[in-house]
Structure 1
Amino acid sequence: MQSATVHILPSCDINSIFLIRQAARDTGAKLVVQKPKLVARTRAPFDPNDGGRAA
């Protein structure tokens, strides 16, 4: 039975990943390397006249 789960991002530097992986193995925790979740962004409609403020 797992006592804890540790989630890390792949963008973490390799030394930290190594240390976290070793600590998780020593304590019996499960290690999960995951990609960050993408956040949907809404874009404003394109206005070629810059909202009527042309030069």
Structure 2
Amino acid sequence: MNTDQIKGAAKEVAGKVQQKTGEVINSPEQQAKGAARQVEGNVQKNYGDAKENIKDATR
């Protein structure tokens, strides 16, 4: 596991929490920010996965 995978997963979770909080307090802005953070985290996690796969393939 590399730092991109860990940071990406953390951003995904934080985004889910932010989105749900936005739903509870009826804030479309917070919902959108949370959804965007989830996407950002997913991209970073996938980048980390790809780096890990390349590293494994070159061994």
Q: Which structure has greater strand proportion?
A: 1
Q: Which structure has greater helix proportion?
A: 2
Who wins on radius of gyration, i.e. which is larger?
1
TM-score by length of 2: 0.34
TM-score by length of 1: 0.36
